Amino acid sequence: MHGTVKKFAKWQGFLWILPSFLGVMVFYLLPYADVVRRSFLGAVDNRFVGLANYRTIMENPAFLLAVKNTLRFTALCIPLLILLALACAVILYRSKYGGFIKSAFLMPMALPAVSVALVWRLLFHSQGLLNHWLSQFKASEQDWMNTSSAFWILVISYIWKNLGYDIVLWMAGLAGISENIYEAAKVDGAGEWQCFWKITLPNLKPSLYTITVLSFLNSFKVFREAYLVAGDYPHESIYMMQHLFNNWFRSFSFDKMAAAAVTESILLLGLILLLQKAWDGGNEDGRKSI
């Protein structure tokens, strides 16, 4: 009797999560379980096929290409965005016009994807605005979305859209650093650079985790614009996992799709654990990411 009460008491905190967790169960975990189940079955006939689907996707060039592109994109974009945002945040922080410029950077984030797609189409069309400007400088024109430039357009549009938000996040981190530390350092004769290296950066480290996770999350959203501008089969350099999922979906390849989805979520899990570990390890004060 006493045991059960104790057992329950242990779970008391979970009551706060319960309503949310029930919904998550129904709308996310249940579908996810279904996906896992499907990854071991045939596409339409629901025959058990073991790991065959996993083997198929590992040999599937389209899957490998999509994985490669997605990794390449993330590996390039996220550090780039984070560093760029940090640089901007440091410059803008405590400056008079900082707020104004920050708002300007934030604006793209509020732009709906369809509107972005509209602008992109007009800019990067082979007869579009960008080529128009280039032609005035006698530069050679290109069909931007149909060459490997498409990848860089995607990178830029990702940074364009998310820079403002990341700046805001960094500035929040900067705001958290107590002025006293700086003053103490200055008294000790530290220069601006020294302050930055020795005080600012280490103190921003806790923010890095959140910023990385959020930037990572937003990197998936760039697919919307890519899809709206270039359709189901864009240039091979921007052919992402979501394109593949979409196309598999249309052709009833649920077997491959489920296997790829499970693979992707395992990768995600690994990535998050890695991030958490890096973060926890670097935090001497013992604060945990969770």
Within residues 87-106, the interface with other proteins by CB under 8 A covers: 88, 91-92, 101-106
Q: Given candidates 49, 77, 150, 163, which one binds other proteins under the rule CB under 8 A?
A: 163
Q: Does residue 8 belong to the site contacting other proteins (CB under 8 A)?
A: no
* Total Cβ atoms within 10 A of residue 239: 23
Q: Is 3 in the site for other proteins (CB under 8 A)?
A: no
Span of 36-44, 48-56, 75-83, 182-190 interacting with other proteins by CB under 8 A: 36-44
Among residues 68, 83, 232, 274, the one that binds other proteins under rule CB under 8 A = 232
Q: Judged by CB under 8 A, does residue 19 bind other proteins?
A: yes
Work out whether 138 is an interface residue with other proteins (CB under 8 A). no
Cβ-Cβ contacts under 8 Å for 106 (sequence gap 6 or more): 164, 165, 167, 168
Q: How far out from the chain centre does Cα 99 lie?
A: 25
DSSP 8-class letter at 41: B
- DSSP assignment string, 89-113: HHHHTT-TTHHHHHHHHHHHHHS-H
Residue position matching structure tokens 């149909």? 146
Q: Read off the tokens for 198.
A: 């020795």
76 binds other proteins (CB under 8 A): no
Q: Does 287 bind other proteins (CB under 8 A)?
A: yes
245 lies in the binding site for other proteins (CB under 8 A): yes
Determine which residue in the list 2, 4, 45, 179 makes contact with other proteins, applying CB under 8 A.
45
* Binding of residue 164 to other proteins (CB under 8 A): yes
241 binds other proteins (CB under 8 A): yes
Residue 40 sits in the site that holds other proteins (CB under 8 A): no
To the nearest whole angstrom, how small is the minimum distance from the Cβ of residue 244 to other proteins?
7
User: Contacting other proteins (CB under 8 A), which of 56, 58, 121, 152?
Assistant: 121
* 96: CB partners within 8 A, 6+ apart: none
75 near other proteins, judged by CB under 8 A: no
Number of residues that this document lists for the chain = 290
- CA dist., res. 28 & res. 34, Å (int): 10
Given 62, 80, 190, 278, the residue binding other proteins (CB under 8 A): 62
* Cα 162–chain centre separation: 10
Helix (H) and strand (E) counts for the chain?
A: 14, 0
Contact residues for 66 (Cβ-Cβ < 8 A; gap 6+): 239, 240, 241, 243, 244
Interface stretch with other proteins, choices 48-56, 75-83, 182-190, 221-229 (CB under 8 A): 221-229
Nearest CA-CA partner of 80 in 165, 199, 145, 163? 163
Among 79, 186, 197, 252, binds other proteins (CB under 8 A): 252
**Site residues for other proteins, window 255-284 (CB under 8 A)?**
257, 261, 264-265, 268-269, 272-273
Q: Of the listed pieces 48-56, 72-80, 160-168, 182-190, which binds other proteins according to CB under 8 A?
A: 160-168
